[in-house]
Chains A and B, each alone.
Chain A
Amino acid sequence: MFSIRAAAYSYSESGTPALDGVDLEIEQGEWVALVGANGSGKSTLAKICNALLAPTQGTCFVMGLDASDPQNTSAIRQNVALVFQNPEDQIVASIVEEDVAFGPENLGLPPDEIRRRVDRALLLTDLELYRARGSYSLSGGQKQRLALAGALALEPDALLLDESTSMLDPEGRDSFLSCLGELNRRGMTILQITHRMEEAALAGRIVVMESGRVAWDGPPPDFFDGGYLRWSFEEPPEMALHHALLTRGLIPQGTKPGVEDMLEALCL
């Protein structure tokens, strides 16, 4: 789906490069979590995957198309949807359903097809009740779901999500993530930028960015097996608790980190 070779990108000629030689292959149907500190190049990489930026060095091929060739831009954008960090950046219409219809309308689809896609996107994002509401009267989390609905209405093959759950409450995040899971099972490729380790754990693969390069790449269990501490990601407190109980021999090896699992193993 994405084939990135030695890609580099600088926002200005003098500054430090945002990407500094990235090699990354992502297959169709994969769900990849892209993690790393602020400024490590995650968002830049996502923009390159969507042909929003062209690498200053190296190459990025999307579905076999060279993303640096302007002739391929429109084909790439139709198949690879990018959902930004801040939903306000991509809401264009004043009414929810009109905003979702904007993408399909621009593709020149027939009205029936547009309606079908809008209905489906609103259903998937749990926004049906809000379809006639003003886009700008929605809360932050609702706007974030609206931005996702707008992307889904394009029915893309791949979804690039840049911190797209940052404003959702825990319930909203759970429903957003289970929606992603469902889309992924149906074959959608997902590249998800996140700071939340609980979310990264749901992906099939974790890629760690550091100073514009890929610093680690592998499956979540290997990452959480202590490896992530090297990059100073926040350890969820329940993982810290699990670790502390194991180290002190209060729970047997192999106990899962869930609250109930740990309590049961403690045999209080």
Chain B
Amino acid sequence: MPIVADNISYAYNVGTSAESVALRGVSFTVERGEWVSVVGHTGSGKSTLAQHLNLLLTPRSGSVSIDGAEAKPGSGESRVARRRVGLVFQYPETQFFAETVRAEIEFAPSNWGVSGGALKACVDEAVSASGLDPALLESNPFALSGGQRRRVAIASVIAMRPDYLVLDEPTAGLDAAGIRELIQFLSGVRDAGLGVVQVTHDLRSALSYSDRILVLENGSRVVSGTPEFVARHIIDNPVRGLVIPPVVRFADALRKKGMNVPLICEVDEMVRAIGIYKERNKKCGS
């Protein structure tokens, strides 16, 4: 059962001089157990789309349904939607308010009436899933480093036991090790059956890790599909604000020479293919 956004449109500041259209008839689907990345230039509508998925915003036209039920604001389903679809904002750690990491993570489930042993289980599970050091549970979240804070923020959403996790630029500000750990974590929750939606401007990581990619430009869908398909499309039809990663351009050049490498591949694969090709046609210096 998926989240389905059907032909949704949205504008900010409607009816004022500052009115700006953010989404123009975008359709989008994410299944459980699937990792979809939404990429596009700054201002392309990525974050606006993410905020529709848990009904934080409601479309001006079109609809959003979660696991088959149309989600309308104020309805019983909207409460359920908020719980099923965990939204991790850009720089989520700026929303901390509790004095300890534990209280921060307990907040959402206890708001849903979870208490006692069940609450403790929620917290423990979230801490272990997000790779947070349990020794930090009694620490002040504001005293943690950037990478640790990001993990606390994600753990506090995971503690609601959502079916879908929507993250807006989750890697912003993390170091290389932090990004690697986060990607591992997201692959883990995807493999455990959650639907993962990652909003990012980092085409390279989207191509490497997601199952499907949606590309937005000026609020409209440009293309969507597998990383391979999307990379092909962007090479042939450049999209504003997106730059094809150098290694993908390199792989594309090798393919044009007839080498059998996928567009999205590891450095080793390319080097091996070049070695074989060179053996076969000794052009240079021979």
Contact = CB atoms under 8 A, between A and B. Distances in A.
Is B truly associated with A?
yes
Interface of A: 11-12, 15, 36-39, 43, 85-86, 88-89, 132-134, 137-142, 163, 166-172, 195, 232-234, 236-238, 240-241, 244-245, 248, 250, 258-259, 262-263, 266-268
Closest A-B pairs by Cβ, 8 of them:
A141-B42, A39-B145, A234-B176, A38-B147, A267-B284, A139-B43, A238-B246, A169-B241
Contacts of B43: 138-139, 141-142
B241 A172 contact: yes
A172 B240 CA distance: 10
Nearest to B278: A250
Interface of B: 12-13, 17-18, 20, 40-44, 46-47, 90-91, 94, 143, 145-148, 168-169, 172-180, 201, 203-204, 240-243, 245-247, 249-250, 253-254, 257, 267-268, 270-271, 274-275, 277-278, 283-284
Contacts of A163: 172-173
Given A139-B43, A167-B169, A259-B249, A267 B283 contact: yes
A263 B277 CA distance: 13
A236 B242 CA distance: 17
A18 to B, nearest CB: 9
Given A39-B145, A85-B173, A132-B17, A259 B42 contact: no
Contact of A85 (B91, B242, B249): B91
B241 A263 contact: no
5 contacts: A141-B201, A234-B180, A237-B245, A237-B267, A241-B271
Contacts of B268: 244
A15 B214 CA distance: 44
B42 A250 contact: no
A262 to B, nearest CB: 7
Contacts of A15: 143
Contact of A86 (B91, B240, B241): B91
A195 B243 contact: no
Nearest to B91: A86
A7 B28 CA distance: 52
Given A15-B143, A39-B145, A250-B274, A137 B241 contact: no
B115 to A, nearest CB: 31
A138 B48 CA distance: 11
Where chain A touches its partner, the secondary structure class is loop
Contact of B42 (A36, A88, A139): A139
A19 to B, nearest CB: 13
A248 B271 contact: yes
Nearest to A96: B18
Nearest to A258: B246
Nearest to A95: B18
A137 B91 contact: no
Nearest to B142: A11
A185 B146 CA distance: 32
Nearest to A41: B145
B201 A169 contact: yes
Contacts of B91: 85-86, 88
B267 A241 contact: yes
A170 B145 contact: no
B238 to A, nearest CB: 11
A12 B144 CA distance: 11
B141 to A, nearest CB: 12
A254 B63 CA distance: 57
